[in-house]
Chain A
């Protein structure tokens, strides 16, 4: 397959998946935010809403604390990412799944989710 076709296909898949205007180049900040939000809400991906109240998410669960004022709680964005990557570091008995360590989300997906959660 030529590079052009691959890129075009990837674009189609991305826009189908996210309704985004993926151009094949690096995602813009807004796109990253939208994609991060989608991953956080998607039941098959982050499904953070299952346990956390998040801004405008429907039917949130309450196993975990509401995700608000994140910059105040995590002045350091890397610490937030680390919590999402492996929640068992801060609490081995936590019910929060270790998203990165168990490969539930890819590193790139965790970056996107972190961007979005950090904005809350």
Chain B
């Protein structure tokens, strides 16, 4: 496929390993890998995380979803979302479509700012622009707000774009490199657990597939007894391998989220989610 598509100089560079595959080729390969490996998982079921791979825990989870543990946070998020700032403006003023039904377009590469903007970063940018203090990035109000915004977007399909800008491509490549690089004293990459060993057991935990990972965030996690953002989860996974967690919403994590969410293009938003 790649071979047939390449022409002239690009061919030579690719053969020399200089140009990496286009993101869309990466995504196709990613999806094919998981579908081949788990032929019984439906194309739209990846959003269910580890529950897509295990019938018994899937059924327990469906029961949990009947009285969702994130319901309280949804109410809080809705109220926060609709409460005007001191200057009278609201979140709705900062976002396209009044902030409703837009989760599937985050994160995006902002060509003006020259960086990846996640939904949580956009929420805080909105606050600061309107004279409010930024919120903490891992839990509490920020998770309630982004959870509510995800909820209004349920069923929409992720559509992350990489604009024709070398900085956007570099952000994507950085995120991808992070995903496949070994780190920490225990020497694991994200892909070691969620690609190569997806579906395997680490003691009592079954490892979820990377495909669909960001779709349900933020998430209510029983282990936390609360909501948390995707970057909070990154911290947990980095600590497991004894790597130093990086700052939430720093460049590295935002680029990582950009890569991961691009891989999940075409899947539905189903946040906020509930997980063990």
Contacts and interface: CB of A to CB of B under 8 A. Distances in A.
Interface of A: 43, 49-51, 59-63, 88, 95, 97-98, 102-104
A97 B187 contact: yes
B186 A102 contact: yes
B197 A63 contact: yes
Contacts of A62: 200-201
A95 B183 CA distance: 11
A61 B186 contact: no
Contact of A59 (B185, B200, B203): B203
Interface of B: 185-188, 192-193, 196-197, 200-204
Contacts of B193: 95
The majority secondary structure among interface residues of chain A is loop
B185 A60 contact: no
Q: Which 8 pairs, one residue from A and one from B, show the smallest C-beta to C-beta distance? A: A97-B186, A61-B201, A61-B202, A95-B192, A102-B185, A59-B203, A50-B202, A50-B203
Contacts of A49: 203
Contact of B185 (A43, A63, A88, A103): A103
A95 B196 contact: yes
B202 A98 contact: no
Contacts of A63: 197, 200-202
A95 B186 CA distance: 9
Given A63-B197, A95-B192, A95-B197, A102 B203 contact: no
A9 to B, nearest CB: 28
Contacts of B187: 88, 97-98, 102
B112 to A, nearest CB: 40
A22 to B, nearest CB: 27
A61 B201 CA distance: 5
Nearest to A58: B203
Which of A50, A60, A95 counts the most chain B CB atoms within 10 A? A95
Given A63-B201, A97-B186, 4 more contacts: A43-B203, A60-B201, A61-B203, A63-B202
